[in-house]
């Protein structure tokens, strides 16, 4: 997962504001760790897999909400 893919996933999951802190909290890492990934350090495989799983779950919740006529989950 590239830094740009991580950014796009985090914004989809957590919204435009505060996504970096919320991503760090969801992954159980410090915000500075997430910041370093955007500074050039590679995103570790387990972190990338966790973000991918969170994004897939978010998309599934949105699909289910649309099927039952409920509002989509908040970002």
pTM of this structure: 0.80
Residue 60 burial (CB count, 10 A): 11
What confidence category does residue 27 fall into, taking pLDDT thresholds of 50, 70 and 90?
very high
Question: What are the domain boundaries of the chain?
Answer: 3-68
Q: Is 21 helix (H, G, I), strand (E, B) or coil?
A: helix
Over range 37-60, report the average pLDDT.
92
Name the residue with higher pLDDT: 25 or 75. Answer: 25
Per-residue model confidence (pLDDT) at position 75:
61
Torsion region of 56: left, alpha or beta (phi above 0 gives left; psi -120 to 50 gives alpha) = alpha
Task: Look at the alpha carbons of 58, 10, 45, 34 in this order and tell me if their dihedral is positive or negative.
Answer: negative
Per-residue model confidence (pLDDT) at position 14:
93
What confidence category does residue 42 fall into, taking pLDDT thresholds of 50, 70 and 90?
very high
Which of 56, 60, 50, 62 shows the shortest CA–CA distance to 24? 50
């Amino acid at each position: 997962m590239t830094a740009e893919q991580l950014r796009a996933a985090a914004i989809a999951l957590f919204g435009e504001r505060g996504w970096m802190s919320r991503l760090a909290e969801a992954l159980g890492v410090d915000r500075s760790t997430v910041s370093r990934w955007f500074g050039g350090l590679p995103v570790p495989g387990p972190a990338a897999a966790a973000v991918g799983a969170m994004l897939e779950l978010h998309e599934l919740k949105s699909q289910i909400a649309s099927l039952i006529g409920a509002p989509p989950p908040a970002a």
